[in-house]
Structure 1
Amino acid sequence: MSADEKNAKKEIIRQKMIEHQSEARVVRKIVLLITVTIIVLAGVIGGGSYLYVKSALKPVDPESKETREVTIPIGSSVTGIANELEKSGVIKNARIFKYYVKFNNESGFMAGDYKMTPAMTIPEIIKSLKTGKVVQRAKFKMAVPEGKQLSEIAAIVAKATGQTEEDVFAKLNDAEFIKGLMAKYPDLLTKDILDKKVKHPLEGYLYPATYPIYKDNPTVDELVVDMLNKTKSVLAPYNETMAEKKLTPHQLLTMASLIEEEATEKADRHKISSVFYNRIETGMPLQTDPTVLYALGKHKHRVLYKDLEVESPYNTYKYAGLPPGPIANAGKMSIEAALNPDETKYYYFLASKDGEVHFSKTLQEHNRLKAKYITNNK
């Protein structure tokens, strides 16, 4: 190959390299442009979403002096409350309100007729819903005390609804009614309540509290939903602890009901709880008298030795572990004690006539306390 041909070949190669470099620069510019465009779009979308949410959390009209009445029916869900607030023009966006409530773990909203303004902030609205500041006074109040069994609660509901105790009690045990409630509260009312050994599915689930009633003739359905909403809101803060301790709502309410029934005003519920858990851990039967009375279906001041022979899965003298379900409703103190028992080595306790509860580690010690505070004081 001549020198001219070699030079020509080199020139061709050089030109191709220049072309490739030029093309590479163009490609890099295109890629850079596309990347910048994507970043800008993402920023615009993200920024737009942020501004949208921020705007939705602000009052509808900060300068408004207008008052609007908002009705929250008994048993309303957060979604239902949010929709009602948006419909009334008190909030901008129901979905954002619902997310705000869930993110901040807000609960315990009360039914009623509220007086609100478009100038209210979301925290102000939530506070109003939780404190129950309503336009009209409650027609009456339904008080459900702690330690009440379903049959007793049925009598309270019957009085509030104008129905007979028998009809209300039948309703509270109706299979279709129970299934409907289970669909509404899947995390609270689980299949545990349908166990064949459970006497009454809703036993222990209707929370003890005073419920304001805003209509003359509330239905059984409305009152039960209100009580279940209360139970759900009371248990909500403990969900993480329940998961850590591997306790289901059914187990928690069952243990809490035993503590509730055994506790006196002077009792240390956390120590009573420790006795029950210590016994379960070692395989000892709980041997708690209230479960025997529940099995008998009677209220007695004293449990006799013959009563301890009653054949029932609720008889904790015969069967170890927790009974099939709660034996009564339990208040917050007993629920917290069921979740957080003291660390003790106690396996026995008894209450003296003055309501003081005495704990012991051995049967011998327990018998001495029994002789001192019970047998010799009859």
Structure 2
Amino acid sequence: MDNGSKKDLMFEKMIEKKKEVKIVRRIVFVIALVILIGGLIGGRAIYKYISESLQPADPEAEEIIEIEIPIGSGLTSISKMLEDEGIIKDARIFKYYAKFNNESQFQAGSYGLTKAMTLDELIQSLKTGKVYRTPVFTMTVPEGLTLDQIAKVVEKRIGIKEQEFLDYVNSEETIEGLMSRYPTILSDEILSEDVKYPLEGYLFPATYPFFEEKPSLEMVVTTMLDATATNLTPYISYLENNEKSVHWLLTFASLLEREATATTDRQTIASIFYNRLKIDMALQTDPTVLYALGEHKDRVLYSDLEVQDPYNTYVNTGLPPGPIANAGRSSIEAVIDPSTTDYLYFLAGYDGENHYAKTYDEHLANRAKYRP
């Protein structure tokens, strides 16, 4: 092949290569254009969907829809309930709208709502607790109460005798029926030989509305268990994924409820208990001693720490057999989401604060300083 032919061949290859480059560039351009247009269309579609979801579900609707918000319901469950009833278009949009406006504390009760209500009107109604039915009376069960103490509240507020209440919640027939009714929260663990009272820690702390002058024992107890089930539902998947039980959660949370005050203290103390459990170190928490003794004391004596009882976490490692009181949501959440620390000790000082330590020597120094 002469030099001229070689040049012609090289020239033809160059032309072909340029054509291929142009084709590739066109393909890339077309793809980019399609993505851009798709993004614009998708963005407009999303914007339209959100805008429509912020509007009333049916501006012309007049029908009143009765909806019951259970005690202890969170924003997520309320949003889902409103969507299921067709009162709002999208539960997620309502949830984020409420959070954006710092509105998430809604009142339990029965409401008469319509599909014509705006999101702001719904939020205002749920926030102020303008219920469709007015309760005859309410009963407040504070956090950190034992079953005995709850029985006293029931007698004072409802008139059901303390012993009658305790007999009911501890009877085998009652427990068997309740376990069938609440299989998600009541397991065989409450029947353990070492558990003092099967329902200890399972009656949720809240303010309960009653719509009858004299509610039955069954109604009182199931109302509280309904609240427990509602408040524990968000954590069931976490427990299953971590091979933990509701009984474990409520037992752990009850210790925090009796030990801590502020939310941050609960999270930190939870981390301390976790750290001790990992190394098989006794939890050594005074409220379990008092529960074992069955009495309240302003100060636990050294002799008390030696009481031989399954609930005494000074002589036994691990969690006690069951809850020692009813725990509120902040204590439950602290178990689920504790702080990350290296602490192994904490001390409640006379200054009203908790003081933490990584070593026993640091703990002794805190004791000398804050509880001389």
Q: How does 1:1-378 map to 2 (within 5 A)?
A: 63-65=60-62, 67=64, 70=66, 112-117=109-114, 133-265=130-262, 268-374=265-371, 376=372
TM-score (norm. length: structure 1): 0.69
Alignment-derived partner of residue 80 in structure 1:
none
Q: Distance between the aligned counterparts of 1:127 and 1:250, measured in 2? A: 37
**Which amino acid in structure 2 is aligned with residue 171 of structure 1?**
Y
How much does 1:264 deviate?
Answer: 2.6
The 1:185–1:127 alpha-carbon spacing in structure 2 relative to 1, beyond 3 Å, is: farther
**Which amino acid in structure 1 is aligned with residue 318 of structure 2?**
G
Q: Distance between the aligned counterparts of 2:190 and 2:242, measured in 1? A: 20
How much does 1:295 deviate?
Answer: 0.4
How much does 1:236 deviate?
Answer: 1.6
**Which amino acid in structure 2 is aligned with residue 326 of structure 1?**
P
Q: What SS is found at the alignment partner of 1:358?
A: strand
Q: What SS is found at the alignment partner of 2:347?
A: strand
Comparing 280-289 with 133-142, greater Cα deviation is found at 133-142
Q: What SS is found at the alignment partner of 1:141?
A: strand
The 1:219–1:73 alpha-carbon spacing in structure 2 relative to 1, beyond 3 Å, is: farther
Q: What SS is found at the alignment partner of 1:183?
A: helix
Q: Distance between the aligned counterparts of 1:66 and 1:333, measured in 2? A: 38
Alignment-derived partner of residue 6 in structure 2:
none
Q: Distance between the aligned counterparts of 2:220 and 2:293, measured in 1? A: 28
Query: Identity over aligned residues, as a percent?
Result: 50
CA contact (8 A) 2:305 2:312 kept: yes
CA contact (8 A) 2:351 2:370 kept: no
Q: What SS is found at the alignment partner of 2:303?
A: helix
Q: Residue by residue, what CA displacement relative to the aligned partner does 1:80-109 show, whole Å, maximum 9, x if unpaired?
A: xxxxx9xxxx99x99x99xx99xx99xx99
Q: Distance between the aligned counterparts of 2:333 and 2:69, measured in 1? A: 30
Q: Distance between the aligned counterparts of 2:263 and 2:114, measured in 1? A: 47
How much does 1:240 deviate?
Answer: 2.7
The 1:121–1:302 alpha-carbon spacing in structure 2 relative to 1, beyond 3 Å, is: same
CA contact (8 A) 1:267 1:357 kept: no
**Which amino acid in structure 2 is aligned with residue 244 of structure 1?**
N
TM-score (norm. length: structure 2): 0.70
Larger-gyration structure (1/2): 1
Q: Distance between the aligned counterparts of 1:117 and 1:337, measured in 2? A: 37
**Which amino acid in structure 2 is aligned with residue 188 of structure 1?**
I
How much does 1:193 deviate?
Answer: 0.5
C-alpha root-mean-square deviation of aligned residues, in Å? 3.4
The 1:301–1:141 alpha-carbon spacing in structure 2 relative to 1, beyond 3 Å, is: same
**Which amino acid in structure 1 is aligned with residue 166 of structure 2?**
F
The 1:252–1:66 alpha-carbon spacing in structure 2 relative to 1, beyond 3 Å, is: closer
CA contact (8 A) 2:272 2:345 kept: yes
